[in-house]
Structure 1
Amino acid sequence: MNGNLTFLLDIAIILIFANLGGFLSRKIKQPAVLGQIIAGLVIGPAVLGIIEESSAISHMAEIGVILLMFIAGLETDIDDLKASSKSSALIALGGVVVPFVLGFLALKLAKPSATTNEGLFLGVILTATSVSITVQALRELKKLRTKQGVGILGAAIIDDVAGIIILTVIIGMISPTESSNILLVLGKIALFFILSMAFGIIFSKFLTKHSEFICRENRLLTAALIFCFSLAFIAEELGVAAIIGAYFTGVIFSTTPHRNRVSHEIQRISYALFTPIFFINIGLGVKFNNVSGVIGISIVIILASVLGKLIGCGIGSKLSGFNNRESLQISIGMIPRAEVALIVTNLGLSMGIIGNDIFTSIILTVLVTTIITPPMLKLAFDDKEKESKRKLVKKM
C-alpha cells in the first residue's frame, strides 16, 4: 500500500476502537469518553502498539477538540455566561493560586535538590485546565447547561488567560531574552476579545439579515466552519488557546436564529469522525518510558494537581454561593490537564528549566487526571440526583 495512505487504515482502526470503548464504558454506566481514552491507551505505544502517533491523526484530533468546544459554545446561554462572570473569576482565582503553590511545595518535598525555577515552572504547569474532557463528560450527563457547567467553562477560560500571563512573568524572571513583554502579551489577549466581540456582532447581524441565502444547501454549515476555524487560528496567533476561539465562535452562533441547526449539523460530523479521534489520540500520546524511576515524584505531583483544583476551585465556588455538592462538582470538572499543560511542559523542557523527570511526571498527571474526571463527575452528579429522589419519596 502507498505509505502516504496508511493513515486511512489507522483512522478506520481508531474509529472501531473508539466506538467499542465508548460502548463498553456506557455498559458499566460511565461516560463514553472514558472508554475512548482507555481504548487509545490500549491500541497505542503504551500497550499493544497497533497505532502510532502521526501528524495526520494529530491534526484531525485538533479539529476534533475545536469542534467540541464550538458545540460547547453553541450550548451556552450568553446571559448565563454573563451572570456567572463573578463566580467564574473566583473559581479561576482559586484554581490558579492553590495549584501553583501546591506545585511549588510538592516539588520541594519530592525533589529537595530542585531549583526554585523548577518549582515555579511546575506551579505554572499545574494551573492549566483542560476543559474539553469535562465538556464531553457533562454533555453525556446532560449537565453542560447547568450553572455548574457554565461556571466551569467561564473559569477555564480565565484559567488559560491567567496561565499565559503567569507563564510570561515567570519566563521573564528566569530568562528575560526568551520572554515577550508582559504588556504586549496583555495587549494581544485584549485584542483577541475585542476582535471576537466585534466580529461576533457583525457576523450575527449578517446571518440574521441574509438568513434565506445562507440557509440554502450547506452554506450555513460551511459559514460556521469558516468562522470557527478562523477565530480559533486568530486566538492561537494572539497567544490565547485555539479552543477558546472555537468556544467564543459557538457563543456567537448561539445568539443567531440558526443555533439549533448549526449545532445539529456540527455534532453529526464531529461525533462521527473528529471527536473520537481526539480522545483516542490522548491515549496514543502516552508512553511509559522511564516511569519506574520517577514514580515517587509523579505521585506527589499528581496529588498536588488534583488537590490543588479540588481545594482552590472548591473555595472559589463556596465564596460564589454554590453549596457543598455543587462546589465539589465544579472543582472535579476543573481537574483535567492536557493540551495547555503539555505545551508549557514542552516549553520548559526545551528551555532547560525542567528535566525529564518532571516531564514524565506531567505526562502521567495528564493521563491520570484525564481518566479519573469523567467517572468522578458522574458519581458527583448521580449522588445529587439520588438524594433528590429520596427527598421526593419522603415527602410523598
Structure 2
Amino acid sequence: MQEDFRLIVDLVTVLAAASFGGLLAAALRLPVLLGYIFGGIIVGPTGLGLIKELIQVETLAQFGVAFLLFALGVEFSLKQLNKVRAIALGGGTLQILLTIALTTVLSVFVGWVDTPVQGVFLGGILSLSSTAVVLRSLMETNETESAQGQVTLGMLIIQDLALGLMLAVLPALDHPETVGVEVVKALSVTALFAGGAIAAGIWLIPPFLRWVASTESRELFLLSVIVLCLGIALLTEHLGLSIEMGAFVAGLMISEVEYADQALTYVEPLRDVFATLFFAAIGMLIDPLFLIQNWELILSLVAIVMIGKFLIVVPLVSFFRYPLRVAIFAGLGLAQIGEFSFVLASEGQKLGLVSRRVYLLILGTTAVTLMVTPFLLKATPQILLLLEKVPLLKTWMNKLDMPQEISVNAVLKDHVVVCGYGRIGQGIVTLLQSKGYSVLVIEEAESKVQILRAQNIPYLYGNCASPLVLEKAEIDHARSMLIAISDPIATRLAVQRAVGMSPAIDIVARADKDADIDTLYQLGAKEVVHPTFEASLELSTHLLICLGEKSQDIQAEINAVRRSRYANFRPEIACVLPVIAPLLPPSSDLVEIDGKA
C-alpha cells in the first residue's frame, strides 16, 4: 500500500473500531466513550496491530482535545468562570499542591522512587485529572451547568493550565537551583499571554467575527473559527504552554461575542469526531497483557489514587463553602489520572525521572481510572441517595445549604413555589402572576437573583434541593411546586424532600432524560414534563390540524400519550407498552389554563 494512503486507512480503521465499540457500549447501556477506548485497544499495537501510523493518529487526536476545550470555553464563558473563580483558582491550585506534596512524601517513604525530585514528578502526574472524560460524562448526563458540574470543570481548567507550567519546569527538576527561575519564566509567559488574550478578546475578535459573519458564508465562518481555535492553541504550544490552554482561552474569547452560539454549532460536529479519535488513541496506548500480568498491583494503585484524590478534593470543596453533595460529586469526578499525564510520563521517561516499569504502571493505572470514571459519575445520584440515609452524613450533606436571603414581599401561604428562573421559569412566573397567583421563586444563581430583585418578584436565594431552603419556603403551606432546573440530581432530591415535608403537595417537574421520567414519578411528582417530547406533541398537534384531523381527537391522543409517560416516544418501553400499560398508575389531571392543557 502506498504510504500516502496509510494515514487515511489508519484513520478510517480507528473511527470504524470506535464506532463498533460505541455501538457495543450503547447496546450494553455503558458510557459510549468506554466503547471508543475499547475500539482503540482492539486495533492498537497491543491488539490486532492494524494501526501503523500511531504517532500521526495521536497527533490528529489532539484536535479532539483542542475542540473539546474550545467548546467548553465558549459554553463556560467568562461570567460563569467568574462564579467559580474562588474554588477554581484557590481549590484547584491547592489540590495540585497537596497531591504533589502527599505523593512525594508517600512515594519516598514507601520506596516507589529514589529521590524527592522523582516524587515531585510523580505527584505532578497524579495531580492531573481528565477534562475530556469528565466533560463528556457531564454532557451525557446534562450536568455541565449544574453547581457540581461548574465546580468540577473549574478545577479541571486550572489543572489544564498547570500542565503548561509543569512541562516548562520538567527539564529543570534535575537541577533544583534553576527550578525557581523556570517557574517565574513560565508564570511570566502565562501572564503576558493572558493579557494579550484579554486585549484581543475585547478589541480584535468581536469585529473580526462580525466582518466574517457579514459575508453570510457558512464555510468562511467555520474556517475562521477553526483557524482561530487551532492558531491560538499552537501559539500557546510555541510559548511552552499547552495546546489545551490555548484552545480553552480561544473559546473564552469568543464566548462573549454575539456569534458564540453559531460558532459552537459549527464546531460541535468536528469536536465529536476528533474527540472520538482521541478516546480511541487512549485505548491504543493501553497494553491489556501488561494489565493482566500486574492486575493486583495496578488495582492497588488505582484504589490508592482514587481514594487519595477523593479525600483531598472533598474537604477542599467543602472548605470553600459548597454543600457536601457538591464536594462528593467533585471528588468522584476528579478521582482519576488525566490523559495528559501520558504526556508528562512520556517526557519524564525521556529525562530519566521514571523507569520503564514505572512508566507502564502509570499508563495502566491511568487507563483503569479513566475507564472507571464514567461509571462513577453515572452512579453518583445513587451514591448521594445512599449517603443521605446515613444519619451523621445526612446532617453534613446539607449543612452548607442554608437559605441565604428571602425577599421581604414573599407570601408564604397558598403560594406556588417555582424552582429555577431560567427561560422556562421566567415564562411560568409571568403567566402565574398574570393570573393573580402568589409565587415564590427559589434560585441559587446570583445573576438570576439580581433580576428577581429588579423585577420585584418574591424570591428565596438558595438551593431548592436543600431541606433547609424548602422549610424556609414553607413548602408544607404551598399550593403547588414546579421544578424547572437542568440539574437532574437536584431535581430528584427536591422532589423527594418536598414530598417528605408535604406528602399531598402537587409537584410538576422537568425531566431532561428519558430515564428520569419514571424516577421522578416514583419519588412523588404528580406530573413530569419532558421538553423534547412536549415539543414533539405540539408540532404533531399543529401538523395534524393542518391535515384536517379533528382537534378533539388530537387532544385525546395527546393526553393519552402524556398519561402513558410519553411511552410511544421512548423506544426502550414502546415495544412493551401493551403489557405494562395496565400497570402504569394514572397521571394526574392536567392543569388547564384558558382551556389549554
Letter in 1 for 2:261: N
Structure with a larger share of its residues in helix: 1
2:257 aligned residue: 256
1:54 aligned residue: 54
TM-aligned CA deviation for residue 307 of structure 1: 2.4
2:496 aligned residue: 390
Determine the C-alpha separation between the residues in 1 that align with 2:492 and 2:42.
34
Determine the C-alpha separation between the residues in 1 that align with 2:283 and 2:240.
27
Determine the C-alpha separation between the residues in 1 that align with 2:213 and 2:113.
67
1:22 aligned residue: 22
TM-aligned CA deviation for residue 200 of structure 1: 1.4
Residues 221 and 262 in structure 1, CA contact (< 8 A), matched pair in contact too: yes
TM-aligned CA deviation for residue 167 of structure 1: 6.7
1:67 aligned residue: 67
2:271 aligned residue: 270
1:356 aligned residue: 356
Alignment of 1:120-139 (within 5 A): 120-139=120-139
Other structure's SS at 2:222 match: helix
Determine the C-alpha separation between the residues in 2 that align with 1:283 and 1:256.
37
How big is each residue's C-alpha offset from its partner over 1:182-241, in whole Å with a ceiling of 9 and x where there is no partner?
Answer: 321111111121122122112343146536425424221111111101111122222322
TM-aligned CA deviation for residue 35 of structure 1: 1.7
Residues 39 and 283 in structure 1, CA contact (< 8 A), matched pair in contact too: yes
Sequence identity percentage? 22
Determine the C-alpha separation between the residues in 2 that align with 1:308 and 1:323.
20
Letter in 2 for 1:95: Q
Determine the C-alpha separation between the residues in 2 that align with 1:24 and 1:390.
34
Query: Does 2:43 correspond to 1:43?
Result: yes
1:222 aligned residue: 223
Residues 131 and 336 in structure 1, CA contact (< 8 A), matched pair in contact too: no
Determine the C-alpha separation between the residues in 1 that align with 2:3 and 2:111.
45
TM-aligned CA deviation for residue 270 of structure 1: 2.6
Residues 53 and 281 in structure 1, CA contact (< 8 A), matched pair in contact too: no
Alignment of 1:124-163 (within 5 A): 124-162=124-162
Aligned CA distance change for structure 1 residues 221 and 209 (closer, same or farther; 3 Å) = closer
Aligned CA distance change for structure 1 residues 53 and 280 (closer, same or farther; 3 Å) = farther
Higher mean C-alpha displacement, 132-141 vs 382-391: 382-391
1:186 aligned residue: 187
Alignment of 1:240-319 (within 5 A): 240-271=241-272, 273-288=273-288, 298-319=298-319
Residues 168 and 241 in structure 2, CA contact (< 8 A), matched pair in contact too: no
Aligned CA distance change for structure 1 residues 176 and 302 (closer, same or farther; 3 Å) = same
Determine the C-alpha separation between the residues in 2 that align with 1:303 and 1:192.
38
Structure with a larger share of its residues in strand: 2
Letter in 2 for 1:6: R
Letter in 2 for 1:75: E
Residues 206 and 254 in structure 2, CA contact (< 8 A), matched pair in contact too: no
Cα RMSD, aligned residues only: 2.8
Letter in 1 for 2:496: R
Residues 99 and 304 in structure 1, CA contact (< 8 A), matched pair in contact too: no
Higher mean C-alpha displacement, 173-182 vs 146-155: 173-182
Other structure's SS at 1:354 match: coil
Residues 67 and 246 in structure 1, CA contact (< 8 A), matched pair in contact too: yes
Letter in 1 for 2:229: C
Higher mean C-alpha displacement, 298-307 vs 146-155: 298-307
Aligned CA distance change for structure 1 residues 3 and 210 (closer, same or farther; 3 Å) = closer
Other structure's SS at 1:73 match: helix
Letter in 1 for 2:310: L
Aligned CA distance change for structure 1 residues 339 and 381 (closer, same or farther; 3 Å) = same
Higher mean C-alpha displacement, 58-67 vs 23-32: 23-32
Aligned CA distance change for structure 1 residues 211 and 223 (closer, same or farther; 3 Å) = closer
TM-aligned CA deviation for residue 164 of structure 1: 5.0
Query: Does 2:371 correspond to 1:371?
Result: yes
Determine the C-alpha separation between the residues in 2 that align with 1:297 and 1:289.
14
Structure 1: gaps spanning 5 or more residues: none
Letter in 1 for 2:27: K
Letter in 2 for 1:390: Q
Query: Does 2:233 correspond to 1:232?
Result: yes
Higher mean C-alpha displacement, 133-142 vs 213-222: 213-222
TM-aligned CA deviation for residue 243 of structure 1: 1.1
Letter in 2 for 1:342: F
How big is each residue's C-alpha offset from its partner over 1:19-74, in whole Å with a ceiling of 9 and x where there is no partner?
Answer: 22223323343332122112212332333333355233122201111111111112
TM-aligned CA deviation for residue 310 of structure 1: 1.1
Other structure's SS at 1:181 match: helix
Question: Highest CA radius of gyration, 1 or 2?
Answer: 2
2:432 aligned residue: none
Letter in 2 for 1:240: L
Letter in 1 for 2:366: V
Aligned CA distance change for structure 1 residues 283 and 112 (closer, same or farther; 3 Å) = closer
How big is each residue's C-alpha offset from its partner over 1:223-272, in whole Å with a ceiling of 9 and x where there is no partner?
Answer: 1111101111122222322112111211222211112221111112332x
How big is each residue's C-alpha offset from its partner over 1:324-360, in whole Å with a ceiling of 9 and x where there is no partner?
Answer: 2211221222234344312221222222222122211
Aligned CA distance change for structure 1 residues 391 and 35 (closer, same or farther; 3 Å) = farther
Determine the C-alpha separation between the residues in 1 that align with 2:340 and 2:110.
24
Letter in 1 for 2:83: A
TM-aligned CA deviation for residue 137 of structure 1: 1.3
Pick 1 or 2: higher relative contact order, CA cutoff 8 A, min separation 6.
1
Determine the C-alpha separation between the residues in 2 that align with 1:386 and 1:212.
42
2:81 aligned residue: 81
TM-aligned CA deviation for residue 375 of structure 1: 1.5
Higher mean C-alpha displacement, 75-84 vs 19-28: 19-28
Residues 95 and 308 in structure 1, CA contact (< 8 A), matched pair in contact too: no
Aligned CA distance change for structure 1 residues 344 and 393 (closer, same or farther; 3 Å) = same
Letter in 2 for 1:355: S
Other structure's SS at 2:286 match: coil
Structure 2: gaps spanning 5 or more residues: 385-488, 506-597
Determine the C-alpha separation between the residues in 2 that align with 1:57 and 1:69.
19
Other structure's SS at 2:76 match: coil
Aligned CA distance change for structure 1 residues 48 and 381 (closer, same or farther; 3 Å) = farther
Query: Does 2:300 correspond to 1:329?
Result: no
TM-aligned CA deviation for residue 110 of structure 1: 4.9
Determine the C-alpha separation between the residues in 2 that align with 1:261 and 1:329.
31
Letter in 2 for 1:117: V
Letter in 2 for 1:325: R
